[in-house]
Structure 1
Amino acid sequence: MKITNIRVAEISVPLKVPFKTALRTVTSIEDIIVEVHTDTGNIGYGEAPPTAVITGDTKGSIVGAINDYISKSIMGMDIENIEGIMKKIDRSIVKNTSAKAAVDIALYDLYGQLYNAPLYKLLGGHRKEITTDITISVNEPEEMAKDSLDAIKRGFKTLKIKVGKDPLIDIERMKTIRKAVGYDIKLRIDANQGWKPKEAVRVLRKMEDEGLEIEFVEQPVEAHDVEGLKFVRDNVSIPVLADESVFSPKDALYILQQGAADLINIKLMKTGGLHDALKICSIAEIYGTECMIGCMLESKVSVNAAVHLAAAKSVITKIDLDGPFLCSEDTIEGGSTFEESKITLNDEPGLGIKKINGLKYLD
């Protein structure tokens, strides 16, 4: 099974409601889809969201990296040599992790097809069903409490609350939400780098004093501030999850060596795909550190790849793969089944994706 062509397309899917964080507001998914074609007629699918504020990748940079560098480096290679292909991709261009992830995902899809097995079984086969949280966008406290109750009615038992815009209001947000949902629901918070280290400690200690029972706090400080991240971890009892601070296996190793986080968040768009995500899983296992699997604003294609990784590896104990639930429509045929908080994998080869509707090809 050899690579004969790589096509790039756009996909546009409106969101049910605007997605708001401390960094941005988004109303629709506008992603790049990759199709890797082979001499056997098999097609592998991948996806990349242009998330410039986090990865630095734009639509133009993703398309350019794939067409001008990545594709040329791997054309004609045999899918059986997945290790050799990944080395070629890594060396074809620096950074550009989202572009690399899109191609990486499509190739792993083909790898599963080559051996006629669902990808999660090839990667570890730990389980066939996972349960995700759902994200509550940052708004006024009362609106966030309402959104939280709506999510609970849909069957979600774990909520990830976006904070980080205003420390005092953040405390009020969490008090209002906890009062509304009670204590049978897990609350985790994501500051998206919105606080300074000392500020984060003050806010989190106040949440501790209020008895809000926060499961963990995700990326409370700026991505580059590993010292600040460690300061927060050393001065609060709420566990700290490193997200934007960890792109590569090297980043994960450094964070754990420094004792800067209790948990690591793996996102395929940061790692450049499954190949390096698997390495982060191995590093975390060595350090006895649990991982969360997360996503950007992505449709079911790349989220499906993250689902397979989560199902494969026992070190991934926290699931934050709610992207498809936020979409107003599903344009992807096949793949895992998303039923509110429950995600179930099927036994189709690779990622199991049959077709993607509504594509606008860029070649």
Structure 2
Amino acid sequence: MRITDVSAFPVNIPLKPIEDGGIAPYRTNHGELYDMDRVLVRVETDAGIEGWGEVRVFLSPEATVSVIEDGVGPLVVGQSPFEIEKLRRQVFIEYTNANMFFAPVETACWDIVGKELERPVSELLGGWTVTHQTNMQDREQSKGDRHSREVEFAYCLGIFSPEESREYAKYALEEGYNVLKTKAGRDWQEDVERIRAMHEAVDGELEFRLDPNQGWTVEDAVRVGAKLEDSGIYLQYMEQPIRVDAHGSLRQLRTRTRQPIAANEDTYIPHNLQKMIAEDAIDVGVVDITPAGGISGVRQLANIAEDGGISLSHHCAFDLGIRTAAILQTVYGLPGINLASDTAYYGWETDVIEEPFTIDDGKLTVPSEPGLGISVDMDTVEDHRIL
């Protein structure tokens, strides 16, 4: 079997308003989102089997499509989709990191291999592990072939006032989520008040992740941690509180607060996860298929994290059904990813797969069909296509 073509389809999908159970406006310290551009990638083979991947837009839809079709495509056409590690090492572009553009192609290759072998990707990765079961009762019920294919996710919330945030926290708890991740970074004192308000609203029944996207100084982060501790609130983690590549400062921060420290954007840089673990700078890594270069890249990071004794979660980048399926297969099939991954899947007005996922009690079901386990609805793709 050989790859015959790589094609990219940029789409724009609106986000559902938060008052209707969605997520818009999604406010961060960088701006507000009401819709998202995504690029869907199809890899075709001479056996008539095609695979799909998905990536966010970088710089522009035109630039993203061009790099994938005109840059990465010629490097893999004519080669076997089974030789994923070989392809990973061949996609080398001097002076830049091509991982993010190769990632959807790599995911599509996993999809093709799974379809050819008639096995879901999670099984090819090694199959279910107990790290994804939330308590001992679940584990006992999941022994042998009876294990659940459900994976827990964290509810994601943008920046709102403390009063509004209270209501959304109650909604997340009512919907069955155990963890809520909220953006931060515009005003550290208001960030504290928002967490306090949400913690009070749910009577401590939710865990919280606070993500300022590098928006705090070390001093800000220390004060946030101390004020929350004074209120008896211990986050699941602070995510990337300070700028990337400041590992000494990150280590210093970790010694000055009892709040666990997580790295996200820092894990996008090759070898940073290994370096941060060696420097005792983090408690948690928040990894992502796209900057990792695909599922194989996440597998490598998960091995590093497990050997280093830190926890892992998977990041959300406003993922449609294709990348959501890839995340599900990955976190289900890899040991080491032991914390609920983030999701904003409930925020889309529509999806590009024929059978969209349903979130039930904060969980999504891993498809058991071959490959990623999804089929793309080309009519919907064409309806939302922007090039």
With normalisation by structure 1, the TM-score equals: 0.93
Deviations 1:95-149 (A, max 9, x none): 2433221111111111211221000011121252211011111111111111111
- 1:354 is aligned to 375
- 2:158 is aligned to 137
Q: Give the aligned length.
A: 358
CA contact (8 A) 1:249 1:279 kept: no
Do structure 1's residue 259 and structure 2's residue 266 form an aligned pair?
Answer: no
SS in 2 for 1:318: coil
- 1:333 is aligned to 354
- 2:10 is aligned to 10
Question: Mind listing any 5+ residue stretches in structure 2 that lack a counterpart?
Answer: 17-23, 130-148
Q: For 1:272 and 1:93, locate their aligned partners in 2 and report how far apart those are by CA, in whole Å.
A: 16
Do structure 1's residue 114 and structure 2's residue 135 form an aligned pair?
Answer: no
Deviations 1:304-346 (A, max 9, x none): 1111110012311112241321112233124765435111112
Do structure 1's residue 207 and structure 2's residue 260 form an aligned pair?
Answer: no
- 1:294 is aligned to 315
- 1:222 is aligned to 243
CA apart distance, 1:83? 1.8
Decide which moves more: 21-30 or 309-318: 21-30
SS in 2 for 1:30: strand
CA apart distance, 1:93? 7.7
Answer 1 or 2: which has greater strand percent.
1
Question: Mind listing any 5+ residue stretches in structure 1 that lack a counterpart?
Answer: none
CA contact (8 A) 2:352 2:381 kept: no
Identical columns (%): 26
Q: For 1:243 and 1:359, locate their aligned partners in 2 and report how far apart those are by CA, in whole Å.
A: 30
Which amino acid letter does the alignment assign opposite residue 285 of structure 2?
Answer: I
- 1:69 is aligned to 71
CA apart distance, 1:157? 2.0
Q: For 1:12 and 1:339, locate their aligned partners in 2 and report how far apart those are by CA, in whole Å.
A: 26
CA contact (8 A) 2:355 2:375 kept: yes
2:332 to 292, 311, 315: 311
Do structure 1's residue 283 and structure 2's residue 304 form an aligned pair?
Answer: yes
CA contact (8 A) 1:8 1:362 kept: no
SS in 2 for 1:298: coil
Alignment RMSD, CA only? 1.9
Q: For 1:93 and 1:84, locate their aligned partners in 2 and report how far apart those are by CA, in whole Å.
A: 20
Do structure 1's residue 82 and structure 2's residue 89 form an aligned pair?
Answer: no
Do structure 1's residue 47 and structure 2's residue 83 form an aligned pair?
Answer: no
With normalisation by structure 2, the TM-score equals: 0.87
